[in-house]
Amino acid sequence: MSRRRVAYYYDRDVGAYTYGYNHAMKPHRIGMTHELITAYGMLDKMHVLKPPRASAEQMTAFHTDEYIHFLSKVTPETTQAMNPQVTQFLGFPDDNPPFDGVFEYHTISSGGSLAAARSIISGAADIAINWAGGLHHAKKAEASGFCYVNDINLCILELLHYHTRVLYVDIDCHHGDGVEEAFLTTDRVMTCSFHKAGNFFPGTGTRADRGKGNGKGYAVNVPLQDGLSDESFKSIFEPVCSKILEVFRPSVVVLQCGADSLAGDRLGCFNVTMQGHANCVQFFRNSGLPLILLGGGGYTIKNVARTWTYETACALGVENELDMHLPWHDHFECFGPRFRLEVAKSNSEDDNLKDDYLGKIRSDVLQQLSDLASKCAPSVGLHDVPKGGVAKELGLSFDEDDAQDDLDRLLYG
């Protein structure tokens, strides 16, 4: 297999921000990943770029003006004075604190995903990577699940200017609700999420959630049980994604590589190893389609760094050349006691094997895609790609009856 051209986006400032000492989300993990990638000598094998930071105007391609204006102004010191808006826009402040530099941090995250989209659109890269992206819970006017600005939606909207059909796949342990919700009514974006089922944040993504209107059938949800193993994950991921490629025929893929689906994650409950997680990257790399790799969750940060480093190697096609003994670098001591490039499985029981749960879910998902086949590829292929106003076409622009949007107009023109 010939190696594909890879663009890698990284801003060294991203690791300088903190949600708070006791908060589970640690932006520092992105810097740790970069150091490990550097130590393995991968930077010379790809096009390394510092992305331009996203502007407030670019963010409002999806988010409301008032919400982005709030994020640009809120600080820990102004929280009390802005209390009504904090309650409105941040939801649960313990999860989504107004930390120092919250807006600047998300200009980096979103800027990287927009730059990744542009590199794919221009043909400059076959695979584009932004490990600072993947913040899939953020809503149009509300932070959620540690996510404030939905860089994925901004990325997909950018791609839709030039690509007729975009496939979004999410392998985070938590359902990719913010992306599914944004594109719920369009047949130009298919969202596919593999996530923990049941009473688990955000509590969405059941098999009954399949899209609405023109998008009916284009939201694919694969809820899974505790203890998911590599073998179980592969046995459902590959058939489902193969069927999606056959039926939907996307021209580009966005893969959210949330690492909280790994064994041993602080907030996760699956038992997937580094290789099992990376199999998803290898699958889409081997498909030959343009591919964007984004980060996401992941709260055992040494395992996040290991896995995204390995998946960068997968994008480059050099994963088999890596020494499993970690090279020395500034954060070497954080990877003890084994100091290896591995995320080992635990002895957790795989609940997906009970009562043929996995087989039933796989059959149901494949049936959904088969039912879609008769209308999907022929009709979608005839859609015109808009030259502008993608948000309006997808229903993401101002609603004439939306009082919130009326307020946006008054405040920001």
CB atoms within 10 A of CB 221: 26
Query: Rounded to the nearest 5 degrees, what angle is found at the Cα of 342, between the Cα atoms of 359 and 314?
Result: 75
Q: Helix crossing, 274-287 with 301-316: angle to 10°?
A: 30
Please state the φ and ψ torsions of residue 104, each to the nearest 5 degrees.
-60, -40
Using CA atoms, how far residue 282 sits from 4, 50, 271, in Å, is 12, 25, 19
As a whole number of angstroms, the distance between CA 330 and CA 237 comes to: 36
Rounded to whole angstroms, how far apart are CA atoms 266 and 179? 24
Between CA 19 and CA 23, with CA 22 as vertex, the angle to 5 degrees is 40
Q: Among all residues, which ones are annotated catalytic?
A: 137
CA distance 343 to 292: 23
* Terminal alpha carbon distance of the chain: 52
For residues 28 and 20, what is the distance between their CA atoms, to the nearest angstrom? 12
Tokens 């209308």 sit on residue: 375
Cβ within 8 Å of residue 359, ≥6 positions away = none
**Burial of 252: CB neighbours in 10 Å, binned 0-12, 13-18, 19+:** buried
List the structure tokens of 370: 């088969």
Closest CA to 190 of 179, 203, 201: 179
CA distance 243 to 248: 8
Task: Give the containing element (helix H, strand E) for 221.
Answer: strand 219-224
Both tokens of 2, joined, read 């010939």
* Residue 105 CA to its chain's centroid (Å): 16
